[in-house]
């Protein structure tokens, strides 16, 4: 078991699975002692990885701005941007961030700092882009916002971690890896579907995991079709109750989560 202290995720991120940490840790621990690398094809806010603190990691996400932020942290990002909770400043920085995107200069320390500021100051910590690829989250109303003044700790934590932004099937897998995949939830009601990751992608992910000759775990909402899909792949299934879920009727009900486990 890792003796490195857990780190707090540097970003606010919807859908974080910190509450699953104990379950994932139990599955990961035997492989950690063997020196395995921890791989997340959908790393998001790093809630699980920073909870486990593996020595080696390959963290991937389809969001290139998220990965630029992590890579800049790894390179020693300095917090030299004025950060204040101010509505006018927010929209000034949002415009600057979008200008960098238009100029194809988003792989930069400045873009990473702006991304961090927008994440902590925007509405509900959302990360949303329009069809032109421009950030369009409005200002968030909070009582107070605290911004980090020093990112040095993350430079040390990320030292032996690799960050990439690609489709999950393009993640380069090593023979000693352990994969934890947390894709966007499968939601059967079309109006609540996650953009950009539909049912064909859920099937593609399950087939990809099955094809790997390494231990792997998928977490997802336990819809009927997901359960049927994972059973067809001969995965071991474990069901848990999640902290929240907005139903099709708009009320909040406990989310039923499924872990699809593939062990060798």
In the chain, ranges of CATH 1.10.1020.10 domains: 78-150
Q: What is the pLDDT, as a whole number, of residue 242?
A: 78
More confidently predicted of 38 and 2 = 38
**CB burial string 116-136: b at 16+ within 10 A, e below:** bbbbbbbeebbbeeeeeeebe
Given a cut of 70, whether residue 58 has pLDDT beyond it is yes
User: Strand pairing partners for 238?
Assistant: 259
Region 66-92: what's the mean pLDDT? 98
Residues of the chain with pLDDT > 90, as a percent, come to 84
Q: Are 118 and 137 in contact (CB under 8 A)?
A: yes
This prediction has a pTM of: 0.92
Task: Report residue 226's pLDDT band, with 50, 70 and 90 as the boundaries.
Answer: very high
Asked if CATH classification 3.30.70.270 holds for the domain at 18-63+160-262, the reply, yes or no, is: no
Given a cut of 50, whether residue 134 has pLDDT beyond it is yes
Alpha carbon distance 145, 68 (integer Å):
23
Residues of the chain with pLDDT > 70, as a percent, come to 91
User: Strand pairing partners for 257?
Assistant: 221, 240
pLDDT digits (tens, 9 = 90+) for 155-191: 999 999 999 999 999 999 999 999 999 999 997 654 3
Given a cut of 80, whether residue 193 has pLDDT beyond it is no
Compute the Cα dihedral for 76, 93, 50, 166 and give only its sign.
Answer: negative
The fourth-level CATH superfamily of domain 78-150 is Adenine-specific Methyltransferase, Domain 2 (1.10.1020.10)
Q: What is the pLDDT, as a whole number, of residue 190?
A: 42
Mean pLDDT lowest among 27-36, 181-190, 232-241:
181-190
Rounded to the nearest integer, the mean pLDDT of the chain is: 92
Q: What is the pLDDT, as a whole number, of residue 251?
A: 52
User: Strand pairing partners for 258?
Assistant: 220, 239
In the chain, ranges of CATH 3.40.50.150 domains: 18-63+160-262
Region 18-23: what's the mean pLDDT? 95
pLDDT digits (tens, 9 = 90+) for 239-254: 998 776 544 455 556 6
Q: Are 45 and 9 in contact (CB under 8 A)?
A: yes
Given a cut of 60, whether residue 194 has pLDDT beyond it is no
Given a cut of 60, whether residue 147 has pLDDT beyond it is yes
Angle in degrees, 0-180, between the axes of helices 199-211 and 224-232, rounded to the nearest 10: 30
């Amino acid at each position: 078991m890792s003796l490195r202290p857990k780190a707090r995720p540097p970003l606010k991120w919807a859908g974080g699975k910190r509450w699953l940490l104990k379950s994932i840790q139990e599955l990961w621990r035997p492989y950690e002692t063997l020196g395995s690398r921890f791989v997340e094809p959908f790393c998001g806010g790093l809630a699980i990885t920073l909870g486990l603190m593996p020595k080696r990691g390959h963290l991937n996400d389809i969001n290139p701005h998220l990965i630029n932020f992590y890579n800049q942290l790894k390179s020693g990002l300095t917090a030299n941007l004025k950060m204040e909770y101010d509505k006018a400043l927010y929209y000034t920085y949002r415009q600057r961030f979008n200008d960098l995107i238009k100029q194809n200069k988003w792989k930069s320390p400045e873009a990473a700092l702006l991304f961090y500021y927008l994440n902590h100051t925007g509405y509900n910590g959302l990360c949303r882009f329009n069809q032109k690829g421009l950030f369009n989250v409005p200002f968030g109303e909070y009582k107070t916002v605290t911004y980090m003044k020093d990112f040095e700790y993350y430079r040390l934590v990320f030292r032996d971690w690799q960050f990439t932004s690609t489709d999950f099937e393009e993640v380069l897998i090593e023979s000693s890896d352990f994969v934890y995949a947390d894709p966007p939830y499968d939601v059967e009601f079309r109006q609540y579907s996650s953009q950009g990751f539909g049912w064909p992608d859920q099937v593609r992910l399950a087939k990809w995991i099955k094809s790997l000759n390494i231990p792997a775990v998928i977490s997802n909402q336990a819809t009927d079709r997901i359960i049927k899909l994972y059973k067809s792949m001969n995965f071991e299934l474990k069901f848990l109750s999640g902290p929240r879920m907005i139903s099709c009727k708009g009320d909040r009900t406990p989310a039923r989560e499924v872990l699809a486990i593939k062990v060798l």
